[in-house]
Amino acid sequence: MTTAKKTAKQKETQQTPWRLAFHRLKKNKLALVGLGVLVLIFLVCFLGPYFSPYPDVNMVDLAHSKQPPSPQHWLGTDRSGRDILSRLMFGGRVSMTVGAVATVLEIFIGTLFGCIAGYYRGWIDTVMMRVVDIILSLPTMPILIMISAVFSDLHVDTKIRIYLLMFILAALGWAGICRYFRGQVLSIREMEYMLATESMGIRDIKKIFKHIIPNVFPLVIVTATLAIGDTILMESTMSFLGVGVLPPYASWGNIVSEGSNMVDFTLHPWMWMPAGFCILITVLCINLLGDGLRDALDPRMNK
């Protein structure tokens, strides 16, 4: 009886690595604040428009253009008389979606290729790593701008262009992740349990998906979180330069750029400042959260 009780109790307090990590994360105030604000921004962007009196964010009203913040327009209106708060919410949707999807894509490609290269080694590894070397030596921003210039001529819907943008961002982003995971896999491969799977004759695919990927998964989460921040920044820079999200769709980057001529810049700061701060706060929160996750998931941080 006592032994049974003891095992039950043991079960209760037994902690999975995930729970441990969550526990550690809860203690990291900065990460929690980041998470909280992020959830808030997310909710405002995705639910806010349903409560907005300006449901059609693309509706132009030149009679009310360039108005400073007022009870009707909390953040004022832009050059086309559109409500800035509403545009910020829609722009946030676009910026965050582009950031998240592009990151998921690059993480997926990067992890998969990294695992394959690290697992098989040999010529597959060599070829893949040379490709990764080539991509990593390309200067990111110039190449992104040139790729966008190539695609600017493509006759596709503006909406579809947003997806295209995600692919463009992912096309350059995966290489670094790939190299990183290859390194991780190389070290995991040498671990004893992998040698055990070898002797058990488990198939390669299964080994990669069942044993290697789950082991690098915490790293994936951390890398992904931090990468989303980077991608949002990248997207905003591209939109600022006019090679990102196209009108009438808003993204935080092109809202900043819309108000960035010297006149709107000095006389109508409400047009561009809020979007800039939205980028700053969102990316900051993502980074804080990512950093917290890294601390929480990194076993070396065990005290």
Q: Which of 42, 189, 215, 291 binds another protein (CB under 8 A)?
A: 291
Is the Cβ of residue 27 or residue 210 nearer to another protein in the bound state?
Answer: 27
For 23-52, give one letter per residue: b (16+ CB within 10 A) or e: ebbeebeebeebbebbeebeebbeebbeee
Q: Which of 4, 8, 63, 200 binds another protein (CB under 8 A)?
A: 63
Instruction: Decide: 174 and 104 in contact? Cβ < 8 Å.
Output: no
Site for another protein in 175-204 (CB under 8 A): none
Alpha carbons 145 and 142: distance in angstroms, whole number: 5
Within 10 Å of residue 221's Cβ, how many Cβ atoms?
17
Q: Strand runs (DSSP E) across 81-196, as ranges?
A: none
Is the Cβ of residue 69 or residue 208 nearer to another protein in the bound state?
Answer: 69
Is the Cβ of residue 31 or residue 216 nearer to another protein in the bound state?
Answer: 31
Residue 122 contacts another protein per CB under 8 A: no
Instruction: Decide: 275 and 88 in contact? Cβ < 8 Å.
Output: yes
Residue 113 contacts another protein per CB under 8 A: no
Residue 272 contacts another protein per CB under 8 A: yes
Residue 65 contacts another protein per CB under 8 A: yes
* Residue 273 host element (H or E): helix 273-297
Residue 79 contacts another protein per CB under 8 A: yes
Q: Which of 256, 293, 296, 297 binds another protein (CB under 8 A)?
A: 256
Q: Which of 169, 229, 271, 297 binds another protein (CB under 8 A)?
A: 229
Under DSSP, the state recorded for 64 is G
Is the Cβ of residue 114 or residue 276 nearer to another protein in the bound state?
Answer: 276
Residue 155 contacts another protein per CB under 8 A: yes
The Cβ-side half-sphere exposure at 162, using a 13 Å CA radius, reads: 21
Minimum distance, C-beta of residue 12 to another protein, in the bound complex (Å): 29
